[in-house]
């Protein structure tokens, strides 16, 4: 019976493997690394990119809704009035879901913590299929009004940490951004919101926008774009059909509201390309990791094939006897595949355990930013398990096929002849194993090149010049909003804080700004008009800006190319002024001197008093872009902001002094983390690179170790099989140096061939990490040379022991045998 045969083969396979427990454990360990690494990466792709929102139903249909700026392909947020018009006029969309990440500081026990939050539409929980653990979600009426509905749904974590799981929490209040909010619901355990990267701890309705979203009241302003939303098309409606419908609605809005909507459109993105959160940031890392673990799997299979080939020599007589007594070659192959399946199954179980233990590794590699924990968990679900089973079967075929074919081609007529002849002088018997080692060397070289390229990129980012000072400028903030400060009180506090910090010995200058560079908080933007500049028919000129204090440019180390800095005289009652950057001069004044000229900003006339040197605002690799600055007092009132301090003092001393000054001004306040601008730039710029370097370093290190083991195994087996030849060479006068050269030469040939093949492969594959590189050529010869050096040193270490063993061959003993 077929089942009886299978059971017999499995039973026999276990008996065979138990005879060599050390060998079996080594093979299982190698396969566990390969299968586990692949399963771990699958879980990251599933949990971070494909199905990033636990508990949310219909994730496969959920799409990201973005706007498109005039003349640009880059996605943009949407205004609330546009969002509502799309919702009212669409017939193919089941649900429009508004979502915007924000945050506040909460006192948790005896400490203050920064937590992430979301401003959402009233249908948020219902549309996502989220049923609150306690209470309810938001009512449609709670979308209406200006700061009219201070209600909140809190997360399970916040419920447990702050309210200790109190089931009577509904109706209690929580101070959020200085306003008491009534708790109306508790989200279920495991729901972290709809922002990839950070766990959301509470949700508020869009009616509370002004309290949590800087820039004033925006719900009635079609030009204020801040909504980051999703759409859920109706069943059977494709993404293309839904996008075309909304595009036609956007065209009508363009005609109805040309002053704000000219040239604007809409675009959909799948969840794994969401431009508003950590998904798009992690996409290059996931692509690289997927390629790296596939390479690692091939190396593992080649290594295990080599191990099985070595073992096949020990089992050769067993195979000969089985063939001689009538066993078919097909039966032998089936038995060998059964043994491979047993090994693969054991390794698959271990691999899933490895993947489970590594499911949060990506988040572990990214420490909390600004006190907010990172949330990038892997997801081991049915799809990940199915893929892992597929990888297990594939690896079993890869590593079992070659040994099975090799053992089934035994020539019975010559099988009893001695097989301990020359190997160095005869390539036939070692060619297959050498080829597998060559494959491992080549693939290891590819991973080494990628690791070196990323390390060089990280080095350049750490030393890059963003156009402002980084080492001697410290930055921090004091959350006045959460403390309930109104605008006038916040202004008084900021001015007093600047004055007192400026008086600290060793502090050179201090300045507040609305936004700091290299942060996830977007710069505000405003429509502009420049005399003499004629925009295109589809263009609505809009430029980002920052509100800054006097001495901001001095503090940040941004040179003024012409004109003057802001002064304390540039206040609410004085003539509005502006400083523009040099890119703005080139683009809108065609390179002419703009000093004294007028710039219309949202219909308000500002006089240009200075031109600032171009710097980076959001990313080191960003293209030069127009930008302008306005005085803090002449812009929109703000209740918080960033304090920037130029000093030669140690950061620890400034941190203590700043905390003391803040406490003197208000005993209930404390500054957030004080860091250098270099650390700020690195945190924002190195997130993806740090993950990629670490992961590729881990995979590359494992690959190099396996390649070294493979090379050692081949050379060790070659020396063992060539004892007669080595003894004869010594008897004929060969020195130890000659034998070392003989062994090292073969090892060098394998390494050199691996480098050649690996170089050609790396030239094709390194483009995969192009998105993660900064000012580094993917074909950098230094990276290839460094990888060659590392691989050569590893090869020498792997070959050294077999070479030394060869020099100790006793010619008298081996020639007598």
d(CA 434, CA 175): 69
The last residue of one of the domains, among 263, 295, 322, is 263
**Distance (Å, whole) CA 689 – CA 38:** 20
> Quick one: 578 and 647 in the same domain?
yes
- What pLDDT sits at residue 409? 58
* Residue 471 in domain: no
- Contact between 501 and 642 (Cβ < 8 Å): no
Residues 591 and 512 in one domain: yes
DSSP string over 483-515: TT--HHHHHHHHHHHHHHHHTSTTEEEEEEESS
3-state secondary structure of 324: helix
> Alpha carbon of 395 to those of 21, 440, 713: distances in Å?
21, 15, 20
Task: Using DSSP bridges, classify how beta strands 134-135 and 179-186 pair: parallel, antiparallel or unpaired.
Answer: antiparallel
pLDDT (0 to 100) of residue 71: 61
Q: What is the structure's pLDDT at 323? A: 56
Helices (H), 101-155: 124-128
**Do 402 and 548 sit in the same domain of this protein?**
no
Sign of CA pseudo-dihedral 97, 518, 672, 628: negative
Q: Is 112 helix (H, G, I), strand (E, B) or coil?
A: strand
Together in a domain, 356 and 484: no
Q: Are 132 and 185 in contact (CB under 8 A)?
A: yes
Q: Kindly state the tokens that stand for 257.
A: 């509201």
Can you give the pTM of this predicted structure?
0.81
Number of structural domains found in the chain: 4
Token reading at 420: 């301990």
Is the distance from CB of 439 to CB of 300 less than 8 angstroms? Answer: no
Instruction: Say whether both 493 and 638 belong to one domain.
Output: yes
Q: Please check whether residues 218 and 294 belong to one and the same domain.
A: no
Sole residue written with tokens 């390479």: 295
Q: What is the 3-state secondary structure (H, E, C) of 678-727?
A: HHHHHHHHCHHHHHHHHHHHHHHHHHHHHHHHHHHHHHHHHHHHCHHHHH
Query: According to the model, what pLDDT value does residue 317 have?
Result: 59
Residue 370 forms part of a structural domain: yes
pLDDT of residue 513: 94
- pLDDT for 251 equals 93
Are the C-beta atoms of 126 and 143 separated by less than 8 Å?
A: no
Residue 412 lies in a domain: yes
Q: Which of 743, 754, 751, 712 lies closest to 808 in space, CA to CA?
A: 743
**Of residues 365, 341, 362, 298, the one with CA closest to residue 42:** 362
CB 262 within 8 Å of CB 71: no
The reply to whether 7 falls in a domain is yes
Contacts for 488-496 with beta carbons within 8 Å, 24 or more apart? 490/638, 490/639, 490/640, 491/637, 493/665, 493/666, 494/641, 494/643, 496/665
Task: Output the six-digit token pair for 80.
Answer: 């609330």
491 and 566 inside one domain? yes
**Residue 722 pLDDT:** 64
Supply φ then ψ for residue 72, to 5 degrees: -130, 150
Of 644, 671, 698, which residue is a domain's last? 671
Do 285 and 406 share a domain, yes or no? Answer: yes
Residue 558 lies in a domain: yes
Q: Is residue 137 a part of any domain in this protein? A: yes
Domain that holds residue 37: 1-57+281-417
Residues 88 and 219 both lie in one domain = yes
**Residue 141: per-residue pLDDT:** 93
The answer to whether residue 469 sits within a structural domain is no
Say which DSSP state 45 is in: I
Residue position matching structure tokens 């209470």: 135
Cβ–Cβ < 8 Å for 692, 766: no
Is 675:476 a contact under the CB 8 Å cutoff? yes
Please check whether residues 460 and 492 belong to one and the same domain: no
Output the pLDDT for position 392: 86
In a domain, 276, yes or no: no
Query: Mean pLDDT of residues grouped by 10 in the chain (817 residues)?
Result: 58 63 80 90 91 90 88 80 95 95 69 80 96 95 92 94 92 88 95 90 94 85 90 94 94 90 89 83 86 88 79 60 57 71 85 89 74 78 89 80 62 47 46 79 89 88 89 90 83 93 94 90 86 80 92 95 93 93 93 91 92 92 91 86 92 90 88 89 81 86 83 70 65 72 79 88 82 85 90 85 72 61
CB 69 within 8 A of CB 76: yes
Same domain, 648 and 565: yes
Q: Which two tokens stand for residue 307?
A: 């191990």
Residue 561 phi/psi, 5° resolution? -75, -30
How far is C-alpha 533 from the chain's CA centre? 41
Domain finish residue from 652, 671, 690? 671
584 & 692 share domain: no
User: Residue 600 corresponds to which tokens in the numbers above?
Assistant: 């219309």
């Amino acid at each position: 019976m077929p089942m009886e045969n299978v059971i017999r083969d499995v039973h026999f396979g276990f008996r065979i493997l138990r005879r060599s427990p050390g060998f079996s454990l080594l093979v299982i360990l190698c396969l566990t690394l390969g299968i586990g690494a692949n399963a771990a990466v699958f879980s990251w792709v599933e949990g971070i990119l494909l199905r990033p929102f636990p508990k949310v139903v219909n994730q496969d249909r959920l799409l990201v809704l973005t706007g498109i700026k005039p003349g640009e392909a880059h996605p943009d947020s949407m205004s609330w009035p546009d969002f509502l018009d799309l919702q009212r006029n669409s017939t193919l969309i089941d649900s429009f879901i508004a979502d915007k990440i924000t945050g506040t500081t909460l006192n948790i026990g005896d400490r203050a913590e920064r937590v992430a939050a979301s401003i959402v539409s009233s249908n948020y929980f219902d549309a996502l299929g989220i049923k609150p653990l306690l209470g309810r979600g938001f009512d449609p009426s709670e979308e209406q009004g200006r700061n009219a509905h201070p209600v909140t749904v809190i997360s399970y974590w916040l419920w447990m940490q702050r309210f200790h799981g109190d089931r009577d929490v509904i109706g209690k209040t929580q101070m959020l951004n200085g306003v008491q909010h009534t708790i109306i619901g508790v989200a279920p355990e495991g729901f972290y919101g709809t922002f990839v990267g950070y766990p959301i701890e509470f949700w508020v309705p869009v009616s509370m926008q002004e309290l949590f979203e800087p820039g004033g009241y925006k719900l009635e302003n079609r030009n204020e774009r801040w909504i980051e939303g999703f759409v859920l098309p109706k069943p059977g409606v494709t993404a293309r059909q839904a996008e075309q419908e909304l595009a036609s609605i956007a065209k009508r809005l363009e005609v109805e509201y040309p002053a704000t909507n000219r040239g604007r459109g809409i675009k959909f993105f799948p969840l794994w390309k969401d431009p508003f959160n950590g998904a798009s940031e992690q996409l290059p890392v996931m692509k690289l990791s997927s390629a790296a673990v596939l390479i690692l799997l091939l190396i593992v299979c080649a290594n295990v094939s080599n191990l099985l080939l070595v073992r096949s020599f020990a089992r050769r007589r067993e195979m000969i006897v089985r063939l001689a007594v009538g066993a078919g070659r097909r039966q032998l192959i089936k038995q060998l595949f059964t043994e491979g399946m047993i090994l693969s199954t054991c390794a698959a179980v271990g691999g899933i355990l490895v993947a489970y233990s590594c499911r949060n590794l990506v988040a572990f590699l990214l420490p909390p930013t600004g006190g907010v924990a990172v949330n990038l968990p892997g997801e081991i679900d049915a799809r990940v398990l199915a893929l892992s089973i597929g990888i297990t079967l594939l690896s079993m075929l890869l590593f079992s096929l070659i040994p099975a074919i090799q053992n089934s081609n035994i020539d019975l007529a010559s099988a009893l002849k001695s097989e301990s002849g020359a190997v160095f002088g005869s390539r036939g018997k070692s060619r297959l194993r050498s080829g597998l080692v060559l494959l491992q060397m080549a693939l290891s070289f590819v991973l080494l090149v990628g690791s070196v390229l990323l390390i060089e990129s990280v080095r350049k980012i750490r030393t890059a010049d963003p156009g402002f000072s980084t080492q001697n400028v410290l930055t921090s903030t004091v959350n006045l909003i959460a403390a309930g400060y109104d605008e006038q009180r916040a202004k008084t506090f900021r001015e007093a804080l600047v004055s007192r910090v400026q008086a600290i010995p060793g502090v050179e200058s201090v300045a507040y700004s609305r936004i700091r560079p290299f942060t996830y908080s977007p710069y505000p933007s405003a429509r502009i008009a420049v005399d003499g500049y004629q925009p295109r028919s589809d263009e609505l000129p809009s430029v980002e800006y920052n509100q800054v204090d006097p001495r901001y440019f001095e503090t940040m180390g941004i040179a003024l190319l012409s004109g003057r800095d802001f002064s304390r005289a540039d206040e609410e009652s004085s003539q509005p002024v502006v400083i523009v950057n040099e890119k703005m001069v080139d683009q809108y004044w065609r390179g002419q001197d703009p000093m004294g000229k007028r710039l219309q900003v949202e219909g308000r006339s500002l006089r240009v008093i200075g031109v600032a040197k171009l710097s980076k605002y959001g990313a080191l690799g960003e293209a030069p872009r127009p930008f302008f600055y306005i005085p803090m007092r002449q812009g929109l009132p703000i209740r918080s902001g960033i304090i920037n301090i130029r000093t030669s003092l140690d950061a620890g001393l400034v941190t203590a002094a700043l905390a003391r000054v803040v406490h003197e001004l208000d005993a209930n306040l404390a500054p957030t983390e004080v860091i250098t601008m270099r650390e700020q730039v690195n945190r924002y710029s190195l997130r993806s690179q740090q993950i990629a370097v670490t992961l590729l370093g881990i995979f590359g290190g494992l690959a190099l170790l396996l390649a070294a083991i493979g090379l050692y195994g081949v050379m060790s087996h070659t020396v063992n099989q060539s004892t007669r030849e080595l003894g004869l060479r010594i008897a004929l006068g060969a020195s130890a140096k000659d034998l070392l050269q003989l062994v090292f030469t073969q090892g060098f040939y394998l390494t050199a061939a691996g480098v050649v093949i690996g170089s050609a492969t790396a030239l094709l594959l390194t483009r995969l990490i192009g998105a993660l590189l900064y000012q580094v050529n993917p074909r950098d010869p230094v990276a290839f040379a460094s990888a060659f050096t590392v691989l050569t040193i590893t090869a020498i270490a792997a070959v050294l022991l077999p070479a030394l063993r060869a020099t100790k061959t006793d010619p008298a003993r081996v020639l007598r045998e």
